Structure 1
Amino acid sequence: MAPADQLISVRQGAALLQISVPTFWRRVSDGTIPKPVKVGSLSRWPQSEILAVIERAKAARSEAA
């Protein structure tokens, strides 16, 4: 069985991307970052989805070069 994908908070996601929390929410609104998983009233993101955002940005950078 594969290990569970850790759910991270908005602050952890913003820190991982090195952006502010308001910018993180703007990127969620524009679709750059996926919408959160709701756990009760909490918003959480699978860490793999945030890492995928970084990988997409790296791929786009390579294509533009």
Structure 2
Amino acid sequence: TDEKTLISVLTERTNAQRQLIAKEYQAICGKELKDDLKGDLSGHFKDLMVALVTPPAVFDAKQLKKSM
């Protein structure tokens, strides 16, 4: 995994653009981007990259559930 490219692509885009990237990835590769990120990355970097491609409402709901 090219971490510099991931950082560049995912942090320099709006959330809407990141969601489109994830959708196109699914269409092209036949699997979810977040699942591949989970498999290829580790630690806090993995958590951040997965969070960036997670829809905000889903991310917020998971964080709320985790805090209970």
* Larger Rg, first or second structure (1 or 2): 1
Give the number of the structure whose residues are more often strand, by fraction.
1
**Superposition TM-score, scaled by structure 1 size:** 0.29
**Superposition TM-score, scaled by structure 2 size:** 0.28
Give the number of the structure whose residues are more often helix, by fraction.
2
